[in-house]
């Protein structure tokens, strides 16, 4: 027996925690990538903003409209502005810190369904990311800050997997995790598309921007480099990475494998017909998307299509399970 309201909060707690963890991993992997690239481009950090959606820009002090403000456009300034926005800015509802706060708030109201130890981890993480938020973006603290979010994200999943009864409440958690994870994988690919698009005209895509290193960065952002190499046994090359992250059916952050997990989770819930149809729709969109070229515009548009299909699935789950009689 699971209250619809509790199901809703568990689902969202899982989504927010996954978003925090994946954003942290992306920012961290991007930092490592940047350290390996020559300092030729001053817009190297800006493409990262595509993770929260297209159209978010770094603006200098004179900029108008919505965007991430910075005093000048020095490379360090832009880097700090982007990292702050994605990691420690409470005004950005998708930042790491905002996501952890939202996850904790959702879990706080469902404490009776989640093992205590799991709640303690989330509460502890909340205390850490909020008290350290002022320093979290600094280069020297950043790695520890983001690393803690990633490690605690893994810890809570481990605790729930091994200490929580695998009932409907746990299924809602799995569902939230898997849907957000699938969405975030497409967003990581979206960041790569944005990076290609931001390349100055005098540089040739795929040659002078160290294409292979960049795609390694994409794989690192989803902890996928090693598994990619095992699966592909060939050079790291864009279209192959896109196919791996969309179509692999066993790598746990590949979209197809996640859709499989979503199907399994849904099959444990009462009458999942509507949501299952929506999963089939996402699968169809993914098939088309993986055929798209790694040309910036095509990849960007394809990922938008997958994200929209996932949003429709989310909508069906809400209608079927989370809004009973409301």
Partner 1 sequence: MTETAAATTPWDELLDSEGRPRPAAAELIALIERLGPEELQARQAAAAADILTMGITFTVYSEGSNIDRAWPFDVIPRIIEAREWAAIERGLVQRLRALNMFIDDVYNERRCVADGVLPAELLVDSVNYRPQCEGVHPKFGVWAHISGSDLVRDADGTMYVLEDNLRVPSGVSYVIENRALAKKAFPELFGYLGIAPVDAYTDELNKLLASLAPDTVTEPSIVVLTPGIFNSAYFEHSFLAQRMGATLVEGGDLVVSDDDRVYMRTIGGLEPVDVIYRRIDDLFLDPAVFRPDSLLGVPGLMRAWRAGNVALANAPGSGVADDKVVYAWVPDLIRYYLGEEPLLPNVPTYRCLDPAERRFVLDNLRELVLKPANESGGYGILIGSRASDAQLQAQAEAIERDPRNWIAQPIIQLSTTPTLCPDGIEPRHVDLRPFVLTGETSYVTAGGLTRVALTKGSLVVNSSQGGGSKDTWIVDLGSGWGSY
For partner 1, the binding residues (CB under 8 A) are: 1-7, 108-112, 116, 119-120, 123-124, 127, 168, 172, 269-270, 321-322, 324-326
Q: How far is the CB of 148 from partner 1 (least distance, A)?
A: 14
State which residue, 49 or 266, has the beta carbon closest to partner 1.
266
Q: At what angle do helices 238-247 and 273-291 cross, to 10 degrees?
A: 170
Q: What is residue 221's three-state secondary structure? A: helix
Q: Is the dihedral of CA 18, 20, 25, 30 positive or negative?
A: positive
C-beta closer to partner 1: residue 126 or 244: 126
Q: How far is the CB of 278 from partner 1 (least distance, A)?
A: 17
Dist. CA 2–CA 114, nearest whole Å: 12
Nearer residue to partner 1 within complex by CB, 114 or 189: 114
DSSP 8-class letter at 114: S
Element (H, E) at 69: strand 68-69
Least distance CB 129 / partner 1 (angstroms): 14
Contacts by 319-324, CB closer than 8 A, 24 or more apart: 319/274, 320/271, 320/272, 320/274, 320/275, 321/4, 321/7, 321/172, 321/269, 321/275, 322/4, 322/7, 322/8, 322/11, 323/4, 323/8, 324/4
Structure tokens at 10: 């568990």
Identity of the residue, 7 or 100, whose beta carbon is nearer to partner 1 in the bound complex: 7
Q: What is the Cα–Cα distance from 20 to 96, expressed in whole angstroms? A: 4
Minimum CB distance to partner 1 smaller for 123 or for 198: 123
The minimum distance between CB 180 and partner 1, in angstroms, equals: 19
Cβ closest to partner 1, residue 16 vs residue 244: 16
Minimum CB separation of residue 5 from partner 1 in Å reads: 6
SS3 category, 271: coil
Nearer to partner 1, 116 or 287 (CB): 116
**Toward partner 1, which CB reaches closer, 244 or 321?**
321
For residues 27 and 86, the answer to whether their CB atoms sit within 8 Å is: yes
Minimum CB separation of residue 277 from partner 1 in Å reads: 18
Nearer to partner 1 (CB atom), residue 208 or residue 268 = 268
Q: Least distance (Å) from partner 1 to the CB of residue 282?
A: 21
Least separation in angstroms between residue 172's CB and partner 1 is: 8
Burial group, residue 280, by CB count within 10 angstroms (0-12, 13-18, 19+): exposed
Cβ neighbours of 26 (radius 10 Å): 24
Q: What gap in Å lies between CA 210 and CA 176, rounded to an integer? A: 35
Question: Angle at Cα 132 formed by Cα 14 and Cα 219, nearest 5°?
Answer: 50
CB of 276 to partner 1, least distance (A): 15
For residue 59, what are the β-bridge partners?
A: 69
């Amino acid at each position: 027996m699971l209250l619809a309201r509790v199901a809703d909060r568990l689902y969202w707690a899982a989504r927010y925690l996954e978003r925090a963890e994946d954003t942290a991993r992306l920012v961290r992997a991007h930092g490592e990538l940047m350290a390996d690239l020559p300092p030729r481009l001053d817009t190297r950090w800006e493409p990262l903003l595509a993770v929260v959606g297209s159209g978010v820009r770094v603006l200098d002090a004179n900029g108008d409209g919505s965007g991430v403000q910075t005093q000048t456009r020095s490379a360090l300034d832009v880097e700090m502005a982007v990292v702050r926005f994605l990691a420690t800015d409470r005004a950005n509802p998708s930042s790491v810190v905002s996501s952890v706060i939202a996850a904790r708030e959702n879990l706080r109201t469902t404490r009776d369904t989640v093992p205590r130890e799991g709640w303690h981890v989330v509460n502890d993480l909340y205390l850490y990311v909020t008290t350290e938020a002022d320093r979290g973006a600094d280069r020297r603290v950043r790695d520890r800050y983001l690393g803690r979010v990633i490690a605690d994200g893994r810890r809570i999943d481990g605790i729930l997997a091994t200490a929580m009864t695998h009932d409907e409440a746990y299924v809602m958690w799995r569902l939230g995790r898997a849907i957000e994870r699938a969405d975030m994988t497409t967003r990581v690919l979206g960041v790569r598309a944005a990076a290609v698009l931001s390349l100055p005209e005098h540089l040739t895509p795929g040659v002078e921007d160290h294409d292979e290193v960049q795609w390694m960065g994409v794989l690192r952002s989803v902890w996928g480099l090693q598994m990619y190499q095992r699966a592909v046994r060939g050079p790291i090359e864009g279209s192959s990475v896109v196919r791996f992250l969309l179509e692999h059916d066993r790598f746990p952050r590949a979209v197809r494998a996640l859709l499989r997990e979503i199907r399994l989770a849904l099959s444990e819930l009462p009458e999942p017909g509507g949501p299952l149809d929506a999963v089939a729709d996402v699968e169809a969109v993914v098939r088309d998307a993986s055929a798209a070229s790694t040309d910036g515009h095509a990849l960007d548009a394809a990922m938008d299509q997958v994200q929209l299909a996932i949003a429709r699935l989310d909508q069906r789950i809400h209608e079927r399970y989370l809004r009973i009689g409301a």
